[in-house]
Every structure is written in structure tokens, then in C-alpha cells.
A and B are shown apart, each in its own frame.
Chain A
Amino acid sequence: MHLILFIVFAGFCLAGAINLLIQSHPINSALSLIVVMTSLAVLYLLLGAEFLAAAQVIVYAGAIMVLFTFVVMLLNAGREDRTLGSRAARMVGFPAVVVILGVMSTVILKAQSLGVASLSDGITSTEELSEVLFTKLLLPFEVTSVLILIAILGAVALAHNDGEEPGEGTRSK
């Protein structure tokens, strides 16, 4: 069971990720990313992180991606068209990606101490998580909430519209 579930949902992840790269319209990319997020939530469940799975769906797929979709629609982003690209990106970037993937894979495959994921004894209850979160790490927790508040304020300030239309900012004053 574990294996089948893993293969299916890992496949969904990879498919979503590759689709994100292939698609030219940003809304398609956003939807693919939602697929990746929810598949990852299932994988978290397989690894025993119940709370995180829920949080992944609620926060990531349910809020952040919705925000992305809103912005795509707000800005009326269209299909990408061909541009010059960057020589540096092609010459330096892709080898970098290959190197990153290669190095990490090599290290992972060579590692001796990894075991197997077991469904039975790897479950972390929410109670455990919250016990640490609300006693030892209470301060970071509260600071995080302040952080989100600041982010909201910042976002409001940055995106505040003084009545301008898009593109008005480029007209020389």
C-alpha cells in the first residue's frame, strides 16, 4: 500500500513540476503547482506528519496558491512570448542545475544510514507537535504571527493603488 501510494503521488508531484516548466500560460503553471502541493500533503501523511499535511493543504494550496491565482488574474498575465533569453543562464545555469541534481543524488544514494519509511511507528501526533510549539518555542511562534502581520501591512502598502491604471507609471512625469 505504502509503495503504491508513494509511486502514485510522487508521480503526481513530478508531473506537476514538469508541467509547471512546460506550460506557457501562468495560470496553467499555478494549477500544476496546486497539484504538486496536494500530492506533497499526501506524502507528508505517509511520513506520519498529520498536522503538516493539513497545514500544507490549508496554507499552501488553499491560501498561497489562491493568492497567486488572484494576482495572475488581476494582472491579466498572458502567454509568454519569446525573448532574448540570457546566454549566461544557458551556459552557466543549466550545468549548475545538473550538478546540483547529480551531487545530491549521488550523496543520497550512497548514504548508508537511511532506513525505510514505516507507516506504523512514525506517526507524530499533533499533541506532540503542539507541546513543543507552545512551550519551548512559544516566542518564535508569537514572533511569526507578528511577522505575518508585518507582511500584510507591507503588502498593503506596496500594492496600494492611488488611482493609477496599470502602465501609468511608465509615462514620464
Chain B
Amino acid sequence: MSPFFSQEVPLSWYLLLSAALFSLGVAGFLIKRNLITVFMSIELMLNGVNLSFVTFAHQWHAVKGQIFVFFVMMVAAAEAAVGLAIIIAVFRARATLAVDRIDLMKL
């Protein structure tokens, strides 16, 4: 193989990817109109952060970073369950999943 393929990947690229994923998640949070899609953008943000944690864990040879990712995953799972249940309840009350239409507390 040519030397190009055996080059090492600088860690900053991983971190840039993580920043990009996070920003895309924020953008999605602002753009998307469907409630479920907004929630998915939140998951995207969380994944971006997970990547950055694992990167730093690799750099410092620290297990703590990976453990943190582990816990983030668990909490994200719980959060997804509850959040989707809320979305279902909101849908039952409003019959719509449009973020812009759900703006009043009074029915």
C-alpha cells in the first residue's frame, strides 16, 4: 500500500467531526417541523458529544471517558423512552405533530 493509506488519522479530525455532528443537530433542532424529527436531532447531538468523549478517552488512555459515554447512552435510552411517550400523549391531545402548532397550554 502506498504511504497515503498508512498515515495516521489526527485526533483533531475526529473532534471536527464531532463538532460538525453537534452543529448539524442544533440546526436540525431549529429547522425541522415535526416533533419526532426534532427529537431525533437531539439524539444526533448526543452522539456527536459521545464521539468527542471517546476521542479524548483514546488520547489520554483513560477509561473514564468511555464510562461516561456508557452512562450517556443509558440516559439517552431512558430519555428517548419517556420523550416518545410524551410525544404520543401530546399527539393524542392535539392531533398534530407540528412544532409550531403546539404553542398554547390551554386546549
Contact = CB atoms under 8 A, between A and B. Distances in A.
Direct contact of A and B (CB under 8 A): yes
Given A55-B70, A108-B19, A133-B70, A77 B40 contact: no
Interface residues of A, number: 91
Interface string A12-51: 0110011011000010011001001100100110111101
Which of A13, A18, A137 has most B Cβ within 10 Å?
A13
Q: Is the interface of B mostly helix, strand, loop or mixed?
A: helix
B70 A147 contact: no
B95 interface: yes
Contacts, number: 257
Contact of B73 (A14, A55, A67, A124): A55
Contacts of A2: 6-9
Return the 7 tightest CB-CB contacts between A and B, nearest first.
A151-B78, A167-B95, A155-B85, A158-B85, A116-B8, A169-B93, A159-B85
Interface of B: 1, 4-17, 19-28, 30-34, 36-37, 39-41, 43-44, 47, 50-51, 54-55, 57-59, 61, 63-64, 66-67, 69-71, 73-82, 84-89, 91-95, 97-98, 100-101, 107
Given A6-B13, A83-B101, A84-B100, 19 more contacts: A13-B17, A13-B21, A20-B40, A46-B9, A47-B54, A48-B58, A49-B54, A51-B70, A52-B73, A55-B70, A60-B76, A64-B80, A100-B19, A129-B63, A152-B81, A154-B82, A159-B89, A167-B92, A170-B107
